[in-house]
Amino acid sequence: DTGVSQNPRHKITKRGQNVTFRCDPISEHNRLYWYRQTLGQGPEFLTYFQNEAQLEKSRLLSDRFSAERPKGSFSTLEIQRTEQGDSAMYLCASSETGGVGQPQHFGDGTRLSIL
Amino acid sequence: AQSVTQPDIHITVSEGASLELRCNYSYGATPYLFWYVQSPGQGLQLLLKYFSGDTLVQGIKGFEAEFKRSQSSFNLRKPSVHWSDAAEYFCAVGAGGTSYGKLTFGQGTILTVHP
């Protein structure tokens, strides 16, 4: 169990640029989640995958955001035309199937800073 | 929709003192409750979870939490705090149904430990 891995750890970009983050979940975990955490707040749910299927998207996920999980393995989160308000920590978590009680294991996150 | 309230934004205790962090939740059905801890620049680590059964649950690092349905609370406790416990603590409720596993977090409580 190598844990959930997220890359890059930090991303600094100019407003209007596109960015892409990657998440590698724990290998046997079928479920994958993305959350966004702004300073002084708890994480907020963005989207959820069961294997390769994206089953739920938050209203926070505007049309500039897109997430994929090809082949049910790693996942990417892309933000197009970044805005100042996108500055946040983006967290990925994974869990096994078997009920809502399965604990989610979090990566260390990608911190996005928009100049 | 579910929600979590952590009334205390910041708590300071002396090393060796006891600790209680408060959490109140709102959820229409039987809640799945979690406490996570986050060190600066890191992801979240699961401390403990409650689904059903014994309302007093034990977790890692000497933490415990008590579920009180009548008060809609799930407070985290530790009898003797260590300096290494300084971090931010998040209470979360898990959603069932089609939102399988989606977590809703509280705002977090920052714990400072004085020597």
The beta-carbon neighbor of A42 closest among B41, B95, B107 is B107
CB contact (8 A) between residue B101 and residue A43? no
Which residue of chain B is at minimal alpha-carbon distance from A46?
B102
Gap between the terminal Cα atoms of chain A: 36
CB contact (8 A) between residue A101 and residue B98? no
How far is the C-alpha of A47 from the C-alpha of A44, rounded, in Å? 10
pLDDT for A28 equals 87
H or E element that contains B4 = strand B3-5
The beta-carbon neighbor of A100 closest among B90, B96, B106 is B96
Mean pLDDT confidence for B108-115 = 96
CB contact (8 A) between residue A106 and residue B51? no
User: Does B4 lie at the interface with A, CB-CB under 8 angstroms?
Assistant: yes
Which residue of chain A is at minimal alpha-carbon distance from B103?
A45
Write out chain A's pLDDT in tens, 115 residues. 589 999 999 999 999 999 999 999 999 899 999 999 999 899 999 999 999 999 889 988 889 999 999 988 999 999 999 999 999 999 999 998 776 678 899 999 999 999 9
Residue pointed to by tokens 């002084």: A40
